[in-house]
Amino acid sequence: MTESGTTQSGTTGARKRPEDLRSHQWYGTDGLRSFSHRARTRQLGYLPEEHLGKPVIAILNTWSDINPCHVHLRDRAQAVKRGVWQAGGFPLEFPVSTLSETFQKPTPMLYRNLLAMETEELLRSYPVDGAVLMGGCDKSTPALLMGAASVDLPAVFVPAGPMLPGHWRGETLGSGTDMWKYWDDKRAGVIGDCEMQELESGLARSPGHCMTMGTASTLTAAAEALGVTIPGASSIPAVDSGHDRMAAAAGLRIVELVHRDRKLSDILTADAFEDAVTTVLGLGGSTNAVIHLIAMAGRAGVVLTLDDFDRIARTVPVLANVRPGGRTYLMEDFHFAGGLPGFLSRIEDLLHLDRPTVSHDTLREQIAGAQVHHDDVIRPRDEPVADEGGVAVLRGNLCPDGAVIKHIAAEPHLLRHTGPAVVFDDYRSMQRTINDPDLGITADHVLVLRNSGPKGGPGMPEYGMLPLPDHLLKQGVRDMVRISDARMSGTSYGTCVLHIAPESYVGGPLALVRTGDLITLDVERRLLRLEVDDEELERRRAQWTPPPARYERGYGALYNEQITQADTGCDFEFLARPGTVQDPYAG
């Protein structure tokens, strides 16, 4: 019970006095500025009774006509407003940057921190008492939460939700995962242009983000595990009427959070981030979550490292049989099997159950009574998809600051492998030459891509799932060891070592690899090693020269100057550093 005599999950209780609201300094004083603010609000068509003395709720909406993951969020914002009005708040919708994984080049990862900056500064500079954050496509979830955490107002996250499953000739398709599969089949000559044209219309058939356990579903699940969504929100299909109801519930809830003064700092604790990591690893989620959760934790004042991921990975089994880490099901199946509450109920002993969420006093209350309705979708502990978490952290002379691999999505025989390197200096040259017969690439080679990290990419694009040469695909080869300082799509699969830090562009050891060098990967030993002696590496280092900067001006120049490496979250240094920022003077 709370001091007001209701449970945290309730929607009644003590209300803040109007003069205690943050927005009061804009609207409630006798000065000229407040007179002006009230007059301009009349200009917008609002009556005094509609907003004066009420919590002002910012709805940050990443809707866009060119973002298929978020194209329905314009409608969902109306549901959020409905909830805010009903709870006695005053909703204001703010359009913010849309980070479309599908269309934005060179990669929306380049702009994650830009959306985080926009989120932070909008919430800080306007008369806002709380926020509803609407996103879901890969980078939008961490960006919105990073910015909101830096302001530390009450906030609720509304996930965009997964799209409906794809269908083609009797097969159920997973976006991304089956795109890679069938593209390889086309290159191998197994299918032709007619089949590919049909697949274009069957792969992604509704609004919403990828319905595999890719980066989008992984990070919205992480947000739910952190405790910043309505329970069960992360897996509701985007076009399900339950998604509309969830959005309205978020609007209701944020007003209550403002009155309770329950800020993000109360939710985003060290325990919450440990539980989010446990969740991601138990779901067999995307490697991208490693970078984003480290960055999000940093904004919340929590130290989270690669070693934490590897430590937790050894304690949690993979229970979600959802593609690509699982082999069968998609997010709609996961949702109706019990969703994240059902999943969490099976790993309760691994979680910090006494921490608060936006909806309950404790996570224990939030998942009490949750059930799993399909044991093959969300596996029992004694029948896991894998015995350990789906991501491993590697160390060695090729990655002194770490690298990651999603080993449950790799061919098992490649998880201990030594082979000669074939080195590509950038993605374009790789595309041009990967099928060159003079390279003599065999299935035993190790494909190496460099200059694709945070600075070198630029923006660390999802280049890490390097394509296999056509001649190997035609022989039936579908996996090889691939190593890069890039990322890869969470919908991808294969033996891909990613996020090598420090990156080659800044002189990391990857910059010193030469074609023909032997490289050893041993996931069980968490080892990635270049089999070249230290003296030879020092000679090569002395010959290495830094490449020119990717940008001479603009946002790119700021990015190049401030971006940190993958192992520390790829945040901007000036945003990640500790310190306080005062609220603006509104009078």
Q: What is the pLDDT of residues 448-495, one digit of tens each?
A: 999 999 999 999 999 999 999 999 999 999 999 999 999 999 888 899
- pLDDT tens digits for range 21-71: 999 999 999 999 999 999 999 999 999 999 999 999 999 999 999 999 999
Kindly state the DSSP code that residue 486 receives in the 8-state scheme. S
pLDDT classification of 5: cutoffs 50, 70, 90: very low
Say what the pLDDT of residue 1 is: 24
Say what the pLDDT of residue 176 is: 87
Q: Which residue has the higher pLDDT, 5 or 49?
A: 49
- CB 233, CB 253: distance < 8 Å: no
Q: 3-state secondary structure string, 180-248?
A: HHHHHHHHCCCCCHHHHHHHHHHCCCCCCECCCCCHHHHHHHHHHHHCCCCCCHHHCCCCCHHHHHHHH
Calculate mean pLDDT across residues 413-438.
96
Calculate mean pLDDT across residues 236-242.
98
Calculate mean pLDDT across residues 143-170.
97
The answer to whether the bond into 502 is cis (omega within 30° of 0) is: yes
Q: Tokens 């910012």 label which residue?
A: 58
- CB 528, CB 553: distance < 8 Å: no
- CB 248, CB 134: distance < 8 Å: no
- pLDDT tens digits for range 135-156: 999 999 999 999 999 999 999 9
Per-residue pLDDT at 4 exceeds 70 = no
Q: Is 5 left (phi over 0), alpha (psi -120 to 50) or beta?
A: left
Per-residue pLDDT at 2 exceeds 50 = no
Say what the pLDDT of residue 16 is: 87
Say what the pLDDT of residue 398 is: 98
User: How many CB atoms are located within 10 Å of the residue 562 CB?
Assistant: 14
Rg over alpha carbons for the chain, rounded to the nearest Å, is 24
Looking at every residue in the chain, the average pLDDT score rounds to 95
Per-residue pLDDT at 213 exceeds 80 = yes
- CB 447, CB 519: distance < 8 Å: no
CB pairs under 8 A, 24+ apart, for 184-187?
184/467, 184/468, 184/473, 184/478, 187/467, 187/470, 187/473
Per-residue pLDDT at 19 exceeds 80 = yes
Per-residue pLDDT at 8 exceeds 50 = no
- pLDDT tens digits for range 226-238: 999 999 999 999 9
Calculate mean pLDDT across residues 333-342.
98
CA 519 to centroid of chain Cα atoms: 30
Q: Tokens 């909406």 label which residue?
A: 61
Q: Rounded distance, CA 297 to CA 428, Å?
A: 34
pLDDT classification of 157: cutoffs 50, 70, 90: very high
Calculate mean pLDDT across residues 180-191.
91
Per-residue pLDDT at 7 exceeds 70 = no
Q: Is 136 left (phi over 0), alpha (psi -120 to 50) or beta?
A: left
Q: Rounded distance, CA 571 to CA 298, Å?
A: 9
Among candidate residues 254, 201, 224, 432, the one with its CA nearest the CA of residue 339:
224
Among candidate residues 542, 524, 522, 545, the one with its CA nearest the CA of residue 534:
542
User: Terminal CA-to-CA distance of the chain, rounded, Å?
Assistant: 38
Say what the pLDDT of residue 13 is: 56
Per-residue pLDDT at 339 exceeds 50 = yes
Q: Which residue has the higher pLDDT, 369 or 180?
A: 369
Edge-first strand order for the sheet with 481-484 is 392-394, 403-405, 496-498, 481-484, 446-449, 416-424, 518-522, 527-530
Q: Is 476 left (phi over 0), alpha (psi -120 to 50) or beta?
A: left
Say what the pLDDT of residue 11 is: 46
pLDDT classification of 177: cutoffs 50, 70, 90: confident
Per-residue pLDDT at 10 exceeds 60 = no
